[in-house]
Amino acid sequence: MPGNLTMEALKERVAGGQIDTVITAFPDMQGRLMGKRFQAEFFVRSAWEETHCCNYLIATDLEMFTVDGYSATSWSAGYGDYVMKPDLATLRVLPWLDGTAMVLCDLMDHHTHAAVPHSPRAILKQQINRLQEMGYASAVATELEFFVFRESFEELRDKSYRDMTTISSYNEDYHIFQTTKEEDLMRNIRNGLQGAGVCVENTKGEADPGQAEINVCYSDALEMADNHCLVKNAVKEMAFLNGRAVTFLAKWSHDAAGSSSHVHQSLVSTAGDTVFYDPNAEYGMSALMRQYLAGLLKYANDNTYFLAPYINSYKRFIAGTFAPTKAIWSLDNRTAGYRVVADGSRNVRVECRVGGSDLNPYLAIAAQIAAGIAGIEEELELEKEFKGDAYQARKAREIPGTLSQATLALKKSTMLRDAMGSDVIDHYVRAAEWEQEDFNSKVTEYEVKRGFERA
């Protein structure tokens, strides 16, 4: 179930004084939650039907800067409104915020009430609908890694993000004693999300000091994207409430491992039966699964921007760090960009290891589905399995090494333009171009330290 609260139950809790605030929110281009906090009495009276927001919210960068060059909205067009339409199936309580419920919204054109095509939720729904027309549904699970710090967000900001102290001091991958040091926060996160209707599997230590991972249950594509977005927001909020800071930056320090968001994916029939498994095929991979995976590989470059959307994202792709550098497939091999997991069983699936913890889950999952559909429609033959250390595979398909390379691949992608529409792709090409333009205009600490005296 996407949420855990019905409208009738909400009305009862509002009338009884248990809930006084309802957050209406939608995912922006960066996968953050944007919206409003309603007085609960007003929400149940009228705002449950719709509310409004400025349309610049799907045309900004991380700094909320109003970027020029978008055809969907601009200063000359006056930055009008979008309709926020609550999806009541996502209505839930937020146990870590007193008296608060939340509902996720779809964005609609203010005049036509048609879905805003470049809004992340609409992009994913479009690909889900394409699968449904083929008789399939997508089953997805996204893993999320992040770093936990001893200091609060305010303390780190006041220190200009220097001399930051991770919650633990040495590698804590699967380490129970180490993770006990952060359990006051992580237990709150697990219980809080479970109480909000998110099926939590576990949290664990990851491969560097202070690095954590949270896993939630496999679900359909839309519910997983919604849950992923909610998890990131919840982790930040609960860290704040516990006087800690966390970061989902893909590479927060050149001395630390990167943080990923692996995407596990498979297809089922609309009746819920697995279609990736064939007990008589090698590794249990059905012909359909092989075509789907072949599509992921053929269009890996096209999709990279949706898995790695910032300049910083590409700092993560370093050999020997468990982050991939090659867009190839291999069986249960963590050096490859695409890993086949649970071979020989009904749970056989593909794990895309390219994405960082900074990705937008709606866009990442939508792009993966689009490439998989292309593989099926084109009846692609899966390339030979790679065996060994993919970092040493000099002739293998490389993951684009920079945002500029990924942007060019996105811009030239006929597959994504056919799947999502050219207007949508042009919108995100502009976002990618702006990230590069903005970075290029800034003087970094690295440049000053390196060249101030020596240049």
Separation between Cα atoms, residue 72 and residue 70, nearest integer Å: 5
Q: Provide the 10 A C-beta neighbour count for residue 440.
A: 9
Task: Check pLDDT > 60 for residue 219.
Answer: yes
How confident is the model over 168-181, as pLDDT tens digits?
A: 988 888 888 988 88
Mean pLDDT for the stretch of residues 253-263? 95
Report percent pLDDT > 70 for the chain. Answer: 100
Report residue 404 as tokens.
């500029």
Task: State the average pLDDT over residues 211-229.
Answer: 97
Mean per-residue pLDDT of the chain: 96
User: What is the per-residue pLDDT across 37-48, written as a single tens digit (0 to 9) for each?
Assistant: 999 999 999 999
Instruction: Give 126-151 pLDDT, tens digit per residue.
Output: 999 999 999 999 999 999 999 999 99
Tell me which residue of 57, 30, 249 sits closest to 148, measured CA to CA: 249
Per DSSP, 140 falls in state E
Provide the token pair at 84.
């926020």
Rounded Cα distance between 83 and 110, Å, is 5
Render pLDDT for 41-72 as a digit per residue (tens, 0 to 9): 999 999 999 999 999 999 999 999 999 999 88
Q: How far apart are CA 30 and CA 360, in angstroms?
A: 6
Indicate the pLDDT class of residue 74, thresholds 50, 70 and 90. confident
> What confidence category does residue 125 fall into, taking pLDDT thresholds of 50, 70 and 90?
very high
Given pLDDT bands bounded at 50, 70 and 90, which one contains residue 87? very high
> Residue 448, CB half-sphere, CA atoms under 13 Å: how many?
4
Q: What is the pLDDT of residues 303-332, one digit of tens each?
A: 999 999 999 999 999 998 989 999 999 999
φ and ψ of 42, to 5 deg: -70, -40
Give the domains, in start order, of the chain with CATH numbers: 7-116 (3.10.20.70), 127-445 (3.30.590.10)
Name the pLDDT band for 2 (thresholds 50, 70, 90): confident
How many CA atoms within 13 Å lie on the side-chain side of 261? 32
pLDDT for 175: 87
Segment 228-236 mean pLDDT: 98
Rounded CA-CA distance 87/280 in Å is: 42
φ, ψ at 258 (rounded to 5°):
-80, 165
The pLDDT of residue 1 is 57
The DSSP code sequence of 264-329 is EEEEEETTS-BSSB-TTSGGGB-HHHHHHHHHHHHTHHHHHHHH--STGGGGG--TTTTS--B--E
With a pLDDT cut of 90, the percent of the chain lying above it is 91
218: pLDDT confidence band, cut at 50, 70 and 90? very high
* pLDDT for res 172: 82
Is the pLDDT assigned to residue 288 strictly greater than 80?
yes
